[in-house]
Amino acid sequence: MYNSEQKRVAKLLKKMYRKGILTEKSIWIFGVSDNTRQIIQMLRDLGVEPAGILDNDPAKQDSFCARIRVYPVDFQKVHLEKSHIFLVYSFFWKEMVRQLQSLMVSRENICCLYQKKKGLPRQFWMAWRGRRICHRLFRIYGELPVFLCPYTGTGDIYLIGTFWKQYLRAAGIENYIFLVISSACKKTAGIFDIRNVELLRTQEEGEYLIKYYMLCPDEICLKLLNDSWGQIRGNPLQWFRGYRGLYFMELFRTFVFNLPDDALPERPVLKDAGDELDHIFEKYQLPEGKTVLLSPYANTLADLPDDFWVLLAKKLMERGYRVCTNSSGEKEPAVKGTVPVFFPLNIAPQFVERAGYFIGVRSGFCDVISAAEARKIILYDRENRFFNSSAYAYFSLNHMGLCHDAVEIEFENRTPYIYIEMILHALTGTED
């Protein structure tokens, strides 16, 4: 969801909450997606915790999305309860509503949050807005090639940075405009020597620029830094992902940068962040080389329940470690009993290096800290598929060449707690 759509859905949920539709009810969300994670956060902002998520995909069932368990759609006939409300947000909302009704769910208990986009006049309006943005940028920088990162994922930006110098040399590009749509992405770009980084005012502005480029390709030299962006090409590579060794690195290197197979990612030269780190470590009383940073949040892949992290943190503290959580506030709260720590992404690798230890579910943040010389443990849900491969095969940090010292562990999502001792052993070399 883009900003305006997020605001619309949040406003709708708030209205439902005020009317009592969401109070004293069991809230179920149909379908695992990035949109689902955003809806969960909107509900949490209202003080509402969803009871669960429903999904037809067996690979997603029994996993966790935003730390909430995913169940089969026909799970224990929950649909027959009048106190249950089902939220649907998907382009396929009609099919999903019919499926719920086939399970005897009353239509009154199904709330469709999805709104179909308007037609051709809106497409021209979006292109016109893109033209205005383009001219605004050209007034500042001149008519330079424009590179657009249309996603909020920091991992993608980090990977772009590892190939950026090689790409510019191969393409003979000396100057450019580099566009991102989130401040986190701008911070990540700051780890590398990327010039003219502009933060677009809203996420929609990226969409407007794409519409303008599609309508007037001769008016703007625009390149999307993505291997297959659905808005512009219908996502033709989607079902090649994971097929016969076509993993993230292989597709990204070839279809974004057109670099040869022997081109390797280049680690950034980390700047001296001593003063900033001194302040953070002193403020939170974090011992250097004896601090474990937990990163329990992921936007794309499956994550783990809160109880898992609480138990893991307790075990670590019993062993004399200071434990902190990579926390950005209410949306990413600290694991209970740990210290909430927030620091700029452009010094994240340096923070992890000084801390000494990192444990996290696979996310874009793992890409960002991959260059840190520290003990890094990355967790993958064994059942989590990414198109034609496992999430581990597709996103392995070691396979991608971002580092070679990460300890990467696949866990069973039905029994994640039994892996705590394995994690402790990998981290400390000891176990109970």
Domain boundaries, the chain: 3-112, 120-255, 274-428
pLDDT tens, 176-196? 999 999 999 999 999 998 999
Model pLDDT for residues 376-386, shown as the tens digit of each residue = 999 999 988 88
Q: Please, are residues 349 and 377 in contact by the beta-carbon 8 Å criterion?
A: no
For residue 340, list its beta bridge partners: 325
Q: Provide the CATH topology of domain 3-112.
A: Rossmann fold (3.40.50)
**pLDDT in the model for residue 400:** 95
Mean pLDDT over 265-288 rounds to 94
Is residue 371 scored above 90 in pLDDT? yes
Average of per-residue pLDDT across 257-261: 94
Chain position carrying tokens 């086939």: 102
Q: At a CB cut-off of 8 Å and minimum separation 6, what does 383 contact? A: 59, 60, 62, 63, 302, 412, 413
Q: What is the mean pLDDT of residues 369-381?
A: 96
Looking at every residue in the chain, the average pLDDT score rounds to 91
In the prediction, which pLDDT does 383 show?
Answer: 86
What pLDDT was estimated at residue 384? 87
Alpha helices in 142-272 (DSSP H): 154-171, 183-189, 203-215, 230-233, 248-255
Q: Residue 63 gets which letter from DSSP? A: S
Alpha helices in 32-76 (DSSP H): 34-45
To the nearest whole percent, how much of the chain has pLDDT over 90?
A: 74
Q: What is the pLDDT of residues 72-94, one digit of tens each?
A: 998 766 666 678 999 999 989 99
Q: How far is CA 105 from CA 77, 85, 112, 264, in A?
A: 10, 9, 14, 53
Residue type, 406: A
- The Cα–Cα gap between 350 and 348 comes to 5
Greatest distance between any 2 Cα atoms in the chain: 66
pLDDT of residue 432: 43
Lowest model confidence (mean pLDDT) among 39-48, 66-75, 114-123: 114-123
Reduced to 3 DSSP states, what percent helix, strand and coil does the chain have, rounded to the nearest 5? 45, 15, 40
Query: Can 3-112 and 274-428 be said to share one CATH topology?
Result: yes
pLDDT band for position 431 (50/70/90)? very low
Q: Is the pLDDT of residue 328 over 90?
A: no
* pLDDT value, residue 235: 64
pLDDT for the residue numbered 294: 97
Residues 6+ positions from 191 with CB-CB distance below 8 Å:
158, 161, 268, 270, 345, 346, 349, 368
- Compute the radius of gyration of the chain from its Cα atoms: 23
**Fold topology of 274-428:** Rossmann fold (3.40.50)
Q: Is 261 helix (H, G, I), strand (E, B) or coil?
A: coil
Q: Express as a percent the part of the chain with pLDDT over 70.
A: 97
Torsion of CA 207, 237, 378, 286, to 10 degrees: -20
Quick one: which of 81, 100, 84, 68 has its CA closest to 25? Answer: 84
SS3 state of residue 166: helix
Q: What is the mean pLDDT of residues 228-248?
A: 80
Would you say residue 231 has pLDDT above 80? no
Question: Is the pLDDT at 2 greater than 80, yes or no?
Answer: no
- DSSP annotation string for 385-421: EETTEEHHHHH-HHHHTS-S--EEEEE-TTSGGGGHH
